[in-house]
Amino acid sequence: MSNQKMTPALTHDQKLDLYYFMQLNRQLEDRLVRLFRQNKIVGGVYSSLGQEAVSVGTSYALEPRDWLAPMIRNIGALLVKGFKPRDIFTQHMAKFTSPTHGKDGTSHFGDLKVRHVVSPISMLGDLIPVMTGVAMAGRYLGQNIVAMTWIGDGGTSTGAFHEGLNLAAQQRAPFVLIVENNQWAYSTPVARQVPIKNLADRAAAYGIASKIVDGNNVVAVYETTKTAVDECRAGRGPILIEVKTMRMKGHAQHDPAEYVPKAMFDYWKAQDPIARYESYLTEHNLWDPKKKSEIDARIEHELDADQKFAEESPLPPAETAEQGVYCEGCHTIEAEWRRPKQDVMPPASSEVAVWKVADFGAFVKTQAVATQHGNRPGHAPRHEPVLSAEKKESISGDEVAGPTGKNQPATGDVAAQVPLRVPFGRGPKDRSVELERRDKVAERPPRHNKPPHKRRRR
């Protein structure tokens, strides 16, 4: 991490909090599995066993004003955001007392007003443009928020992933995307989905920063995310974080995951995020067995009460199926302005409607290899661009300076959008370029006014 210094250390209580949420996440899902076997769950149970550090560590880095949208395996993030186990129980059991009153299940619920949680849909990737919009709106309203969502390794192959991330990058949206690489898209391993080792490599193509972190180390996940959140809040987003972890169960309860090599399970079982964190807490004298059993007992107590509540809750009355398709005055829609409205009204908002194009898009010989990456955090060294002194001079002038204002949208000024890195471009020194040129010369018919042996060869 490049900005480790900036990350405020977790307090003792916060460290115990992380354990609490991870263990709550695990024990809650453990109970869901049992309820599933008792036929008390209406739909599926999508286990996040082994991925608790991702949900908890990332969402713990957000502030209450920030927004998130969970995926199916991010129940831990919902708990961190303040939802109760009863919400998860009732959702899975399709009860009338659930946040969606039985209209949707699993982690498909949210709360726009208080907890700032957007409800996900099953189609992967769609949350990325939506959360980009959340980030853009938050900036527009002056709220200084950060928006975050997750995408699995499988979801990175969708069109919505590309469209959303590109818009976020173009807009410099305060948006953190967690790529939760749990090695499996249903039954298909990562290597069968994408030809690259690290999904974080995708970030380079969008001109945004990326980080890779051990997803089974909750402190590392938290610290990396916290740095990214701070960077985004300071207007240097978006940022993509790839967390390497492992889905320790099948896609859902019906799937025994026999396609996963046993040795792979064994490897990752030894990396269990909660066991590792327990050792960490013990080694650093952050708790003792008494404290641990206190927390565990608290979790048991909460889960007992909430499970009981859910089991005793009624199913929704059938007639409610017809209700709520439209908002017919049930919601008051009002934006929360944290900046003067007149800033976005004429005359303050008025501007000259012309594009400024910095270098006319001209081909510059050094450009193909020389790139600028601006003030962007957290790049792994292999992402560092090759920047020749000559090129540096030519692009460091005022004309192509990046956006100066804090958290300003990348808008009409194309100049502000120029400094994108092209780490993998095909430069003039590339062998393929040389070979192509030779081929062309060889194909050219000899000129009639010169003898063939005088044909210019390179």
**Site residues, another protein (CB under 8 A):** 99-100, 103-104, 108-110, 112, 118-119, 121-123, 126, 128-138, 140-141, 143, 147, 159-160, 163-164, 166-167, 170-171, 324-327, 329, 331, 333-337, 341, 344-346, 349-355, 409, 411-412
Burial class (CB in 10 A: 0-12, 13-18, 19+), 101: middle
**Nearest to another protein of 137, 257 (CB atom):** 137
Alpha-carbon distance of 147 to 139, in angstroms, equals: 10
Asked whether 254 and 44 are in contact (CB, 8 A), the reply is: yes
Closest CB 67 distance from another protein, rounded Å: 8
First to last CA, the chain: 47
- Reported for 100-109, long-range contacts at CB under 8 A and 24+ positions apart, including other chains, are 101/316, 101/320, 102/315, 102/316, 102/320, 103/324, 105/42, 105/43, 106/43, 106/44, 106/45, 106/46, 106/72, 107/46, 107/70, 107/71, 107/72, 107/73, 107/74, 107/75, 107/78, 109/83
For another protein, the closer of residues 137 and 401 by Cβ is: 137
Nearer Cβ to another protein (305/357): 357
Helix (H, G, I), strand (E, B) or coil at 239: strand
Radius of gyration in angstroms for the set of CA atoms belonging to the chain, rounded to a whole number:
26
Q: Smallest distance, Å, CB 7 to another protein?
A: 28
* Closer by beta carbon to another protein, 374 or else 409: 409
For another protein, which is the closer residue by CB, 195 or 346?
346
Nearer to another protein, 38 or 349 (CB): 349
Q: Which two tokens stand for residue 191?
A: 């290597």
- Which CB atom, from 355 or from 360, has the smaller least distance to another protein? 355
CB 105, min distance to another protein, A: 10
**SS3 (DSSP) at 376:** coil
Q: Name the minimum Å distance from CB 31 to another protein.
A: 23
Q: Which is nearer to another protein, 87 or 306 (CB)?
A: 87
Amino acid identity of residue 28, one-letter, is L
Q: How far is the CB of 362 from another protein (least distance, A)?
A: 21
Alpha helices of 158-288 — where are they, by DSSP H? 159-171, 190-193, 202-206, 218-233, 262-269, 273-283
> Are the CB atoms for 185 and 205 separated by under 8 Å?
no
Nearer to another protein, 335 or 435 (CB): 335
Shortest spacing between CB 57 and another protein, in angstroms:
24
Q: Which is nearer to another protein, 159 or 195 (CB)?
A: 159
In angstroms, what is the minimal distance from the CB of 454 to another protein? 50
Min dist. Cβ of residue 77 to another protein (A):
16
Q: What's the number of CA atoms in the CB half-sphere (13 Å) around residue 179?
A: 27
Query: Least separation, in Å, of the C-beta of 387 and another protein?
Result: 26
The neighbour count for residue 447, using CB atoms within 10 Å, is 11
Q: How far is the CB of 231 from another protein (least distance, A)?
A: 20
Q: What's CA 391's distance to the chain center, in Å?
A: 33
CB of 86 to another protein, least distance (A): 17
Question: CA torsion, points 274, 277, 283, 289, in degrees to nearest 10?
Answer: -50
**Helices marked H in 8-122:** 12-37, 52-59, 75-80, 85-92
- By C-beta, is 163 or 359 nearer to another protein? 163
How far, in Å, CA of 71 to CA of 107, rounded?
A: 7
Asked whether 226 and 61 are in contact (CB, 8 A), the reply is yes
